[in-house]
Structure 1
Amino acid sequence: MNWGEIVTPTMGYAELFLRGTAAYLGLTFLLRIVGRREAGGLGLGDLLVILLVVDAAGPGLLGEASTIGDSAILVVTVILWSVVIDAVSFRWPRLGLLFKPRPRPIIEDGRLNWSAMRRELMSASEVESQLRLHGVRDMSRVERAFIEPNGMVSIVMSEEPVNPEAQKHPDI
């Protein structure tokens, strides 16, 4: 067994770094466009890092098309970009909006926000289902409900109905 053949990268460091960078940034952009609900309980960035690390490490471990060195450089590149984007988002929040989505209101003052629901491809019955999962029976008492960046729904309730007109469907 020749350890040099197993560990030494078969491509240049710069090419591997550029491949990892293109994959990470390209998929980050695509996932940012797609929406939040596809991620489940994970944040899109978390999901992206997991998928890319597994994909990058696989061939090197299995010996299919690259060496462990190739895989290691790609894995380090993906993790590096994840840390850089988190740091940029923390340091410059406005710039971070390009990479990190904000919560989107799907209910405001007891009323469904149809434009946000269309953007997230959510039907009224799906929103009602999320309200039931949170134990909410009366939409008129919901001040705000948000679809969070990780795809989950958070709800801010009011003691009094914030929109008596929304009591058309008191039992969700």
Structure 2
Amino acid sequence: MDALLELFRLEQPPWQMVLRGSAIYWFLLIVFRFLLRRDIGSLGVADLLFVVLIADASSNAMQGDYKTIGDGLVLILTLVTWNYLLDWASYRSPRVWRLLAPRPEPLVRHGQIMHRTLRRELITVEELMAKLREKGIGDLSRVRVARLEGDGQLSVLTYEP
């Protein structure tokens, strides 16, 4: 029984783990949101960040990089809390949502490719055309507007046949 209790004992002050976890979460959120490009069809930035950090924290706790499971659980709880709070704040406040989610960018307007936007988003014409073909569109003249949404998905509005 003592061995089991020893596994869950906290060796580091919880405030220190909360502070470290929070600092890393916010740093990576800023890096992913503002410095890295989004890919067509990728996970949302916050989702990717959450998965990576939870995997890392869980891995460290399981591998023994933390001295106890309790230390790992405090860090995981910190990350889960930040993820929930950001989701909640995004739901409640359009201002927070706009800050965290990139705005939609037009890739095609009235059948014309917006090359400047493609360059800024680091998307090739071939990638764009492949995504349009996946949506059953082979002719650009049918596209009224195609946008790269904040979550990385491509949305397309076509002219009526």
The two structures have a TM-score, normalised by structure 1, of 0.83
- Structure 2 unpaired stretches of 5+: none
Secondary structure, aligned partner of 2:160: coil
Matched, 1:149 2:150: yes
Q: Summarize the alignment of residues 37-116 of structure 1 with structure 2, pairs less than 5 Å apart.
A: 37=39, 40-116=41-117
Structure 2: distance between partners of 1:9 and 1:58? 17
1:140 aligns with 141
The two structures have a TM-score, normalised by structure 2, of 0.89
Structure 1: distance between partners of 2:60 and 2:137? 48
Residue identity opposite 2:113 in structure 1:
L
C-alpha distance after superposition, 1:58-103 (max 9, x if no partner): 1212223332111111111111111111111122212322212232
Structure 1: distance between partners of 2:68 and 2:101? 33
1:35 aligns with 37
Go from structure 1 to structure 2 and tell me whether the alpha carbon gap of 1:66 and 1:110 turns closer, same or farther (over 3 Å shift).
farther
1:164 aligns with none
Bigger RCO (CA 8 Å, 6+ sep): 2
- Structure 1 unpaired stretches of 5+: 161-172
Residue identity opposite 1:5 in structure 2:
E
> CA RMSD, aligned part only?
1.8
Secondary structure, aligned partner of 2:100: coil
Residue identity opposite 1:48 in structure 2:
L
CA contact (8 A) 1:59 1:71 kept: yes
CA contact (8 A) 2:101 2:151 kept: no
